[in-house]
A and B are shown apart, each in its own frame.
Chain A
Amino acid sequence: MASLLHKEYEVVRDDYSRAGKVSSDIKRTLSAVGISPAVLRRIAVASYESEINMIIHAWGGKIMLDVMEDGTIQIVFKDPGPGIADLEKALTPGWSTASEKARNMGFGAGMGLPNIKRVSDEFDIQSSEAGTTLTLGFREKT
């Protein structure tokens, strides 16, 4: 399926001062193409949590946004490592490996991945020592 709109962003490890800028741009971009506020909010929450995860846990990475021709929105978060050691635990509410610095920024409550999964219509995560790829899909409810 063809993508009507494609954007790519770089995320830098431990760059807390810019954390959230990508998700802010994604929210504004999708608002401009007419995505409804309720869906937009779900996308923004999932994108922001995922972006924060890349900054806190990964060695940076790339975020790719696509608006498909059938109206679905796909966001892929791809990092080069170090991977999630125990994916099952990472999806358990309250479980966290966040650093003290991340906690001081207001994150590391262990709600990130469970919350991302909750607000997404499609959720796929693949992780190894070579990196993690998180693919999220969203669509307007009919």
Chain B
Amino acid sequence: MQAREIAAALHAEPLHIWNEHLLTKDYTAAFATDLMSDALAMIQTSPEDTVLITGLCNSQVLRTAEMLDIELIIFVRGKMLGEEAMEIAREMGFNIYRTDYTMYTACGILYSLGLRGING
């Protein structure tokens, strides 16, 4: 599922677009969590093709994505990154969106459109 399709399905607002070419890239899986330890432990295959969906809104989400080579982050529940975290985001290679949907609803929408979890 392309990044721009994911954003449209979630009525998501872009917070930072690093690479417009990635908007038409196909992402094959999504992983949703507020625990970055779980993301670091469980996203083991093709993280660059995996969307990180989270309600945690701080610089550690960005650091976690950086370590894993994740390119696309969706913040749920209308969360907004603080200015300090946005500065970090601008230095890194992410496309970042936020949606007003809760995590449960956002995941349900994307799953119904064919975007599966990391284990299928």
A binding-site residues for B, Cβ under 8 Å: 16-17, 19-20, 23-24, 27, 37, 41, 44-45, 47-49, 105-112, 114-115, 118
Is B41's CB under 8 angstroms from A115's CB?
yes
Report B-chain residues with C-beta under 8 Å of the C-beta of A27: 66-67
Q: How far is the CA of A102 from the CA of B41 in the complex (A)?
A: 17
Give the interface segment out of B7-15, B54-62, B99-107, B108-116: B54-62
Is A109's CB under 8 angstroms from B37's CB?
yes
Partner of A44, one of B38, B56, B67: B67
Query: B43: shortest Cβ distance to chain A, in Å?
Result: 9
Is A45's CB under 8 angstroms from B37's CB?
no
Q: How far is the CA of A118 from the CA of B67 in the complex (A)?
A: 16
7 A-B pairs with least C-beta separation: A20-B63, A106-B36, A109-B37, A44-B67, A111-B41, A115-B41, A111-B37
Report B-chain residues with C-beta under 8 Å of the C-beta of A106: 34-37, 56, 58, 60-61, 64
Q: How far is the CA of A20 from the CA of B38 in the complex (A)?
A: 16
Query: A110: shortest Cβ distance to chain B, in Å?
Result: 8
Closest residue to B40 on the A side, CB-wise? A45
Closest residue to B54 on the A side, CB-wise? A106
Query: Given contacts A106-B35, A109-B37, A111-B38, is CB(A41)–CB(B67) below 8 Å?
Result: yes
Q: Does B69 contact A (CB under 8 A)?
A: yes
Closest residue to A108 on the B side, CB-wise? B37
Query: B83: shortest Cβ distance to chain A, in Å?
Result: 12
Interface string of B7-42 (1 = CB under 8 A from A): 000000000000000000000000000111110110
Closest residue to B84 on the A side, CB-wise? A17
Query: A98: shortest Cβ distance to chain B, in Å?
Result: 9
Query: Given contacts A24-B66, A41-B47, is CB(A49)–CB(B40) below 8 Å?
Result: yes
Q: Does B68 contact A (CB under 8 A)?
A: yes
Partner of B68, one of A17, A45, A114: A45
Is B47's CB under 8 angstroms from A48's CB?
no
Query: B119: shortest Cβ distance to chain A, in Å?
Result: 16
Interface string of B59-81 (1 = CB under 8 A from A): 11101101111000000000000
Closest residue to B62 on the A side, CB-wise? A20
Is A107's CB under 8 angstroms from B58's CB?
no
Question: What are 18 of the A-B contact pairs (CB < 8 Å)?
Answer: A17-B84, A19-B60, A19-B63, A24-B66, A27-B66, A37-B69, A45-B68, A48-B64, A49-B40, A105-B60, A106-B56, A107-B37, A107-B60, A109-B35, A109-B37, A110-B37, A111-B37, A118-B41
